[in-house]
Amino acid sequence: MSVAILRATGAILGFVVTIVISRTLGTSGLGIYAYAVTIIVIATVPVSYGWGTSLLRSASTSHFSGDWRATSGLAIRGAQFAFLLAVILLGAFLALRLMTPEFLQVLNISIATASSLTFVFLFDQLSALRASILRGLDRPITAQAPEMLVRPLVFVIAFFSLAWWLGEGVAPVHAFIALSIAAFVSAIAGYGLLRWRAPTNLKGTTASFDTRSWLASASPIALSSGLIVLNSHLDILILGIFVEAADIGIYRVAVQTSLVSGLAYTSLNMLASQRFAFAAAAGDRVGVKASATFMARIAVLCSIPLLIVLILAGQSIVPYVFGENFGAALGPMIVLAFGQSFTAATGMAQPLLLMNGLEKHVMYWTSVSVVMNILLCLIFIPLFGVIGAAFATVIAAALWNVALWSVARARVGVDTSIIGLS
């Protein structure tokens, strides 16, 4: 329950961030910001998701065994990879700007923008590694607090300060600068929490390294997670090909609002990874079944109210909250909110499969879903615009969730849905 409250607070703060940007920069400014952040999120996958999941597993094992050498080595290698990838990303930004100054005008890639996005990229990866260790220690609140609370608060303060100082001269680049400041502060806060919560034998252990084996283990997880992250951002990426930045801003509002509907599912999904990892280590199959069904039912119950509010009163609420130019976001908002409810109904099959070593099944069905999502986006977006992107996303997500639910029942013997069949 405490994790859900933390996630709810973080979602509210994230919602505030979207409102602040939409009110300050308008539809086009929000679209530019959303497109850039989408690219950064996808780029963090190898370390944040692939290496981070391996680190979570190792930390869970070390928590029981007391041997932290491998976990320490995984953390060090992960940080080294994060720095390397940040240097590569900055070099790519600068090279593209020198060779083709007009490249990606929608992102307005200036030196300040490239530097800010690189800092965000680096600190986000380091924060993900720290969070993985804390989650492995069964400290979910401590793991998520910096990103859920500190980061959005610092962003709002920094961006408001820049907007007040610059007045009419405020631009998307200043949102990126504020985001880099927020990512840095939350990373420092997270490191302090790790030092506080880490067991003594972790602080004083001598790291051991098995990089080749770790890469072999983390690579399929990174590929699988990368496909999942790509699948969840394909709509915005492909929208950037066919529509203006203003339309991307409108769609961003729809996505952020629908995420409030899926807040409980997202919160419990992160908690499920820890519970399933502990249960797999302890051999507690009965506990897995009970937890999976309970979490799915809670997630569905929490997803329905926003959908009802949007259907009944969204036409007046959306323009009032985000601005008159964002009224067109209501249609895709309702479609995406319905998709969140359906996803919650199928339960937490993906973390269950990952924590039981069935990454290949997740990767296969994620690949199928990505291909379908691409095809549907390429068909629906040119025809229907932003609402076409919403329908494409929901259909592809429904296929993925049903497929993983079926695999979980067949291979693990657990029905993760709200039905909870034995």
- C-alpha closest to that of 238 among 229, 250, 246, 230: 230
The number of beta carbons lying within 10 Å of the beta carbon of residue 42 is: 15
- C-alpha closest to that of 28 among 366, 409, 403, 323: 323
Q: What does each of the 422 residues of the chain score in pLDDT, given as a tens digit?
A: 566 677 777 778 888 888 889 888 888 888 888 888 888 888 888 888 888 888 888 888 777 777 778 888 888 888 899 999 999 988 887 777 666 555 444 455 677 888 888 999 999 999 998 988 888 887 878 888 898 899 999 999 999 899 889 887 888 889 999 999 999 999 999 999 888 877 776 666 777 787 787 787 777 777 777 777 887 888 898 998 888 888 999 999 999 888 888 877 877 776 777 677 666 666 666 667 777 788 888 888 888 998 999 999 988 898 888 888 888 889 999 999 999 999 988 888 888 887 777 778 887 888 898 899 999 999 999 999 999 999 999 999 999 999 999 888 888 777 888 886 65
- pLDDT number for residue 264: 79
Eight-state DSSP code of residue 207: P
- pLDDT number for residue 25: 87
Give the residue ranges of DSSP H helices in 167-210. 172-197, 200-203
Residues 153 and 133: beta-carbon distance below 8 Å: no
How far apart (Å, rounded) are the C-alpha atoms in residues 359 and 353? Answer: 7
- pLDDT number for residue 286: 64
How far apart (Å, rounded) are the C-alpha atoms in residues 19 and 300? Answer: 26
CA 315 distance to own-chain centroid: 28
Residues 129 and 73: beta-carbon distance below 8 Å: no
Residues 175 and 120: beta-carbon distance below 8 Å: no
How far apart (Å, rounded) are the C-alpha atoms in residues 360 and 67? Answer: 28
- pLDDT number for residue 399: 92
With the CA atoms of 233, 234, 238 and 240 taken in that order, what torsion angle do they form, in degrees rounded to the nearest 10?
10
Which residue has 């969070």 as its token pair?
131
Q: Which two tokens stand for residue 363?
A: 């990767």
Which residue has 């390397």 as its token pair?
84
Compute the half-sphere exposure of residue 26: CA atoms within 13 Å on the CB side of its CA. 8
